[in-house]
Amino acid sequence: MSTITIYHNPACGTSRNVLGLIRNSGEEPIIIEYLKTPPDRDTLKALIAAMGVPVRSVLREKGTPYAELGLGDPKWDDEQLIDFMLQHLILINRPIVVTPLGTRLCRPSETVLDLLPQPQRGAFNKEDGEPVVNTEGRRV
């Protein structure tokens, strides 16, 4: 059983890069495509609490109904923002990765390296060709 879980969107380049870095460490994570299998309210709240970040920092703006829903307005409290995320799953920023070393929103994708229990096993380049890890498995 894997000790790593990724809340993943396969249409997202950052999410695909994070998944690649997890696999490059020799782990096959539990992959939750959260748009198809959304977290329930308690799970989403637990993930946010485990990250130790404000609810607003998990909201995705780009490519979402964030602006049209007026979510930048400070009138919305955390519970209301979570309601919006559960109604419009695309508002949940990704990828969120859970490992024995912590839980984090992994943007940029290199952020995941701090959460992986095992070192990188070889070179890794992002989809755009940007090197992240060298042939010795060290961060570039």
Domain spans, the chain: 1-34+94-140
Q: In tens digits, what is the pLDDT along the chain, a chain of 140 residues?
A: 679 999 999 999 999 999 999 999 999 999 999 999 999 999 999 999 999 999 999 999 999 999 999 999 999 999 999 999 999 999 999 999 999 999 999 999 999 999 999 999 999 999 999 999 999 989 99
In this structure, which topology does domain 1-34+94-140 adopt according to CATH? Glutaredoxin (3.40.30)
Cα-based torsion angle of the residue sequence 51, 66, 11, 19 in order, rounded to the nearest 10 degrees: -10
- The pLDDT of residue 2 is 79
Please give the Cα distance from 7 to 34 (Å, whole number).
6
Report the SS3 class of residue 97. Answer: strand
* DSSP label of 131: E
Please give the Cα distance from 129 to 20 (Å, whole number).
13
- The pLDDT of residue 27 is 96
pTM, two decimals, is: 0.95
Q: Please say whether the beta carbons of 51 and 103 come within 8 A.
A: yes
Mind telling me the catalytic residues? 12
